[in-house]
Amino acid sequence: MLNVLIFGAPGSGKGTQSEELIRKYGFKHISTGDMLRAEIKAQTPLGEIAARYINDGNLVPDDVIVEMMEQFVLTQKDTEGIIYDGFPRTVPQGEALWSMLERHNDKVDLVLNLQVPEEVLIERLLHRGEVSGRADDNMETIRKRLEVYETSTAALADFFSAKGVLHNVVGTGTVEEITARIIPIVDGALERVKTLTQ
Ligand code: AP5
């Protein structure tokens, strides 16, 4: 099983590229943002906690996220691969995922770091806010999300680079152009996993 992390700033295309990889490889997809929005919609206790943070552009506390993800990781089997989208998002979350997988004799195989300039991120998110009405896609919250990304999330790139699994991907251009940059990286990782298990 291949564990792929799709990593990048808000609006970098994590969800969009995840969909392309699901279509091509049939991987399972887990988005912490989608999970939290579903909890908010269902008005669960977790959703109530999450709403307090998401609506202001802040991160939901690590212990809440790690507990939610532990349940997910524990129950995964019989799949070609999993795409983690929006998780981990802090170095403590990265460390937690790393040790969670190790406890299951598993590992992070690949981290795809989508690199997109800030003005493009803002343009994409404002456009999505206009079209879909997503509550955190307004200028004030976008600025906060980008600031939180720089202060709390960006350091994860060094964490995964030190582990030897980080791949930087130019995240501008059309969706298809970006997918075409990602596919050889995923194919290479699948080959390596196959060779190791033969
Ligand atoms: P989350 O839902 O993960 O949001 P995000 O990281 O802000 O990312 P987005 O969904 O906004 O962007 P994306 O990179 O997926 O880009 P997309 O493909 O959608 O998290 C939301 C909140 O939940 C967080 O702020 C936090 O509060 C909380 N949270 C989630 N996970 C957490 C965690 N682990 N720990 C703590 N808190 C957590 O694309 C964006 C737009 O651009 C779309 O409209 C798309 O159509 C368009 N687009 C994409 N690619 C292109 C392209 N190539 N050209 C033109 N347009 C494009």
pLDDT per residue over 32-67, tens digit each? 999 999 999 999 999 999 999 999 999 999 999 999
Output the average pLDDT for the chain: 95
How many of the other CB atoms lie within 10 Å of CB of 159? 17
Active site residue 181: no
The amino acid at residue 129 is G
Q: Tell whether ligand 1 has an atom less than 6 A from the beta carbon of residue 146.
A: no
Q: Where are the domains of the chain?
A: 2-197
Active site residue 192: no
Task: Report whether CATH 3.40.50.300 matches the domain 2-197.
Answer: yes
Q: Which of 189, 186, 111, 102 is nearest to 154 (CA)?
A: 111
**Bond prior to 45 in cis (omega within 30° of 0):** no
Catalytic pick among 24, 28, 77, 134: 134
pTM of the entire structure? 0.96
CA dihedral angle for residue 133, residue 87, residue 110, residue 16, rounded to 10 degrees: -10
Active site residue 145: yes
* Residue with CA nearest ligand 1 atom 40: 11
Which of 5, 6, 7, 14 to mutate for ligand 1's pocket (most ligand atoms within 8 Å of CB)?
14
Non-local (6+) Cβ contacts of 5 within 8 A are 83, 84, 87, 88, 108, 110, 111, 112, 160
Rounded to the nearest angstrom, the distance between the alpha carbon of 15 and the centre of ligand 1 is 6
Rounded to the nearest angstrom, the distance between the alpha carbon of 76 and the centre of ligand 1 is 24
Ligand 1 atom at shortest distance from the alpha carbon of 93: 34
Mean pLDDT of 93-103: 94
Active site residue 103: no
For residue 88, name the pLDDT band (cuts at 50, 70, 90). Answer: very high
Cα 179 to Cα 181: distance, rounded to the nearest angstrom: 5
